[in-house]
Chains A and B, each alone.
Chain A
Amino acid sequence: MTAITTVSPPPASSSIAIPPHPIVRNEVGLDPVVSPGPALLAGIGDGPSLEAHRGRVGKSPWPSAEQLIKMCEAVDLRGRGGAGFPAAIKMATAHRRKAVVVVNASEGEPASRKDAALMALAPHVVLDGAAAVAHALKTREVHIVVPSELPSIGFGLEKALDERLDAGERIKWQIHDAAPRFVAGEGSAVLELLAGRDNLPVTTWQPGAVSGYKKRPTFLSNAETFAHLGHLARLGPNGYAAQGTPAEAGTTLLTLRGDGWDPVVREVAYGTPLSDILTADEMNQPLLLGGYHGTWLKPEQLAAMALSRIDIAAAGATLGAGVVLPLAHGWCPLVRTEALVDYLAGQSARRCGPCMNGLPNLAEALRDLVHRGGPVGPVEELCGLVTQRGACSHPDGTARLVTSMLSRFPEEVDLHSLGECRGGQDEVAP
């Protein structure tokens, strides 16, 4: 399936003529509509060329590792792949001899499109960040992992790298194709791919920043993280903090309704009220925040919530990789969860015993609960059996999704055990 990603004009502003930019997607789902944003996505209206990028932002400065680490600390920059690890700590750890840089743009989750949008529409924003990190860590070796199911990302990247080569940049870029599956984007799976083995998670005994690619200190981070690093290196902490709140500087990329009929990728400043990005109808619906490994939130939790790590953590959830999935009107959150767990069970790499056995059993127990009025006990027990018992966090994330469903919608769970379903209607605020 080939489709076109449209770039919509900025919400509040006038008439900027923005040419549509193609992203080819041959997997499930539709291409997102991407709007220009306040920082990383500010220049997407000018096209993805290096010339347009340099014309807008000028030459990128190359701070030393010490300077860049200080900047990361000043704005508390976190990784944007889901785990939210502090970039300063990762960089300080990887700042040793023979370091290597890995940009992970493989984005295995079907509901996340922000890295694909970033790579397609603003590749040089990411590459500037990768170049800055490579320079700070005194390496010329940068690996970029792209999703193989979106060939246009790889082609666009090759073109962007050619432009940089012609401009005289002396970095050894290498492109790798990630396998089209959920767990292929996990950090250890990416290092396996680079090592020439199967693109699947393995047990790691040390963090990648200590011993990663060929046992070298490896700064592996998500594509969006590098875009922020480049932006930060250029503007410094004060300029970077022009967006966001005093407690949380900067912006974040979101994928809204990423697996639905009208997916949208947006860049918003931290502190933006949730009501600014969701429709009034969606604010009255349950929300799945953080993607398929994420956490359900009830409508009454959304009203005063801002897109802020602090606010979201206080509600017992995380923003993860910025996937925001409002429940479509009239849908039951239990039915939705059951379908997701069925998909996630199929995405197991089938290498770790508890995941290989536990997730299909969990999916079956949940199907029993949701569709046949089965008991809750086996579902809870299986969630416990798969947690913290695998090479990657795929079983943990799946159990987290199910556990949050059980804790947020106990009335619905009771109804289903009686063989009834109100299609989420009781979740709608009066």
Chain B
Amino acid sequence: MSHTLRVDWPNCKAHGLCAEILPEVISLDRWGFPIVHEAVGYDLLDLAKGAVKACPTLALRLVQKPSRH
């Protein structure tokens, strides 16, 4: 079962901490909002959990399967 990061878009305020912690998976667009590039591999799981915890607006979640929403 692979994990993926999902953004709660209305709550994301482009602080950009997630991209600092997990540049392997997340980059920022020209306005500072995250672009989630791929599923989170097992080796990055702890960092991904750290990114979720670091979000000041709690707008990032680790979910178990890739999905649209």
- Nearest neighbor of A357 in chain B, beta-carbon distance: B31
A241 to B33, CA, bound (A): 49
Question: B11 contacts which chain A residues (CB < 8 A)?
Answer: 203
Q: Which of A203, A357, A358, A388 contacts B8 (CB 8 A)?
A: A203
B10 neighbours in A (Cβ, 8 Å): 200-203, 349, 351-352, 391
Choice from A205, A349, A351, A388 contacting B61 with Cβ under 8 Å? A205
Q: CB distance A389 to B69 under 8 Å?
A: no
Interface pair A390/B31, CB less than 8 Å apart: no
Give the residue among A200, A203, A357, A388 with the most B Cβ atoms within 10 A.
A203
Alpha-carbon separation in the docked complex, A383 to B10 (Å): 19
A56 CA to B17 CA, complexed, in Å: 64
Which chain A residue shows the least CB distance to B31?
A: A357
By a CB distance below 8 angstroms, the chain A residues around B8 are: 203, 391
Chain B residues positioned under 8 Å from A358 (CB to CB): 31
Question: Is A26 located at the chain interface by the 8 A CB criterion?
Answer: no
Pairwise interchain contact A353-B33, C-beta atoms closer than 8 A: yes
Chain B residues with Cβ below 8 Å from A242 are none
Interface residues of A, CB < 8 Å — how many? 19
Known A203-B69, A205-B61, A353-B12: A389·B7 in contact at CB below 8 Å: yes
Cβ A389 vs Cβ B68 within 8 A: no
B interface, by DSSP: helix, strand, loop or mixed? Answer: loop
Query: Least Cβ distance of A298 to chain B in Å?
Result: 29
From B31, B61, B63, contact of A353 by CB (8 A): B31
Also in contact, A351 and B69, with CB within 8 A (given A205-B61, A385-B29, A389-B33): no
Given A203-B69, A353-B14, residue A389 in contact with residue B9 (CB < 8 A): yes
Interface residues of chain A, those whose CB is within 8 Å of chain B, are: 200-205, 349, 351-355, 357-358, 385, 388-391
Return the 4 tightest CB-CB contacts between A and B, nearest first. A352-B9, A353-B33, A351-B10, A203-B8
Q: A351-B9, A389-B7 are in contact. List 17 more A-B contacts (CB 8 A).
A: A203-B7, A203-B8, A203-B10, A203-B69, A205-B61, A205-B69, A349-B10, A352-B9, A352-B10, A353-B13, A353-B14, A353-B32, A357-B33, A385-B30, A389-B9, A389-B35, A391-B8
What would be 24 A-B contacts, judged by CB atoms less than 8 Å apart?
A200-B10, A203-B6, A203-B8, A203-B69, A204-B69, A205-B69, A351-B10, A352-B9, A352-B10, A353-B9, A353-B14, A353-B31, A353-B32, A353-B33, A354-B29, A354-B31, A354-B33, A357-B31, A357-B33, A385-B29, A385-B30, A389-B9, A389-B33, A391-B10
Please give the residue numbers on chain B whose beta carbons come within 8 Å of chain A beta carbons, in ascending order.
6-14, 29-33, 35, 61, 63, 68-69
